[in-house]
A = this chain, B = another copy of it.
Amino acid sequence: MKHYELERVLPEEIEKRSFELITQELGEKTLDPENELVIKRVIHTTADFEYAKNLIFSPHAVTKGLEALKEGIQIITDTNMGKAGINKAALKKLNCTVDCFMADEDVAEYAKAHDTTRACASMDKASRLSGDCIFAVGNAPTALVRLYELIQEGKIHPRLIIGVPVGFVNVVQSKEMIMSLSGIPYIVAKGRKGGSNVAAAIVNALLYQVK
């Protein structure tokens, strides 16, 4: 039986050690200190160093996100998976909440009636309930496109958009649309990559930074 060399790290030290290894591997690459913990946590979640250059932050998006979280804001995701990945204890400490409307019956009906995606319909539902929230979109570019439209129509004014859908159809464009907005803070993963795990990692990276 082959012996496997495992690095001996205490359970509570694994994350710290991972961040050390990430920092080491980033080497000389300098990250904006404001964005550093978000970038590193996304790399921690994906083991994909491309995010060191793919993540685009509008000016002081992190600071603005932290301000919103301190107020105890609602976070809206486009997947239950993204919702599941957000740290509930950290949310609760700040009196923040997280909702995902994707699996709601009225959203399915609305999507069918309007020949649109459930992701898109769930953003419409969010806009009716509250526009003053943080959106964390990790899956559906159609959700991001709908947010863009709702903002242009003056129906919502999100405190922060985390725009990191993943995929092949309209994903790149949907992110470009969000990055064209002025006055709306955003954190976007430029290109095709992203995911519900990335969206949750960004939310968690913000939650953990609130003092």
- Give the shortest distance, in Å, between A68 (CB) and chain B (any CB): 23
> Are B180's CB and A2's CB within 8 A?
yes
In the complex formed, the residue of B with least CB distance to A43 is: B168
Chain B residues within 8 Å of A116, by CB: 11
Say which residue of B79, B83, B167 sits within 8 Å of A44 (CB atoms): B167
Stoichiometry, as copies per complex, reads 2
- Which of the 9-residue segments A26-34, A91-99, A154-162, A170-178 touches chain B? A170-178
A166: chain B residues within 8 A (beta carbon): 45-47
B117 near A194 with CB under 8 A, answer no
Q: Determine whether A142 belongs to the interface, using a CB cutoff of 8 Å to chain B.
A: yes
A145→B193 CA distance, assembly (Å): 29
Is B18 within 8 A of A168, CB to CB? yes
CB within 8 Å of B: which A37-72 residues: 44-48
A1-22 CB mask vs B (1 if < 8 Å, else 0) is: 1101111011100100110011
With the chains together, A196 CA to B138 CA distance in Å?
Answer: 14
Contacts of A200 in B (CB 8 A): 81
For the complex, what is the distance from the CA of A44 to the CA of B169, rounded to whole Å?
10
Contact status A173-B6, CB under 8 Å: yes
The 4 closest A-B pairs by CB, nearest first: A47-B192, A84-B84, A81-B85, A18-B168
Given contacts A10-B115, A14-B117, A81-B85, 11 further A-B contacts (CB under 8 A): A4-B177, A5-B173, A11-B115, A18-B167, A44-B167, A45-B195, A46-B193, A47-B168, A47-B191, A47-B192, A83-B84
Residues of A whose CB lies within 8 Å of any CB of B are 1-2, 4-7, 9-11, 14, 17-18, 21-22, 44-48, 79-81, 83-85, 111, 115-117, 142, 145, 152, 166-171, 173-174, 176-177, 180, 191-197, 200
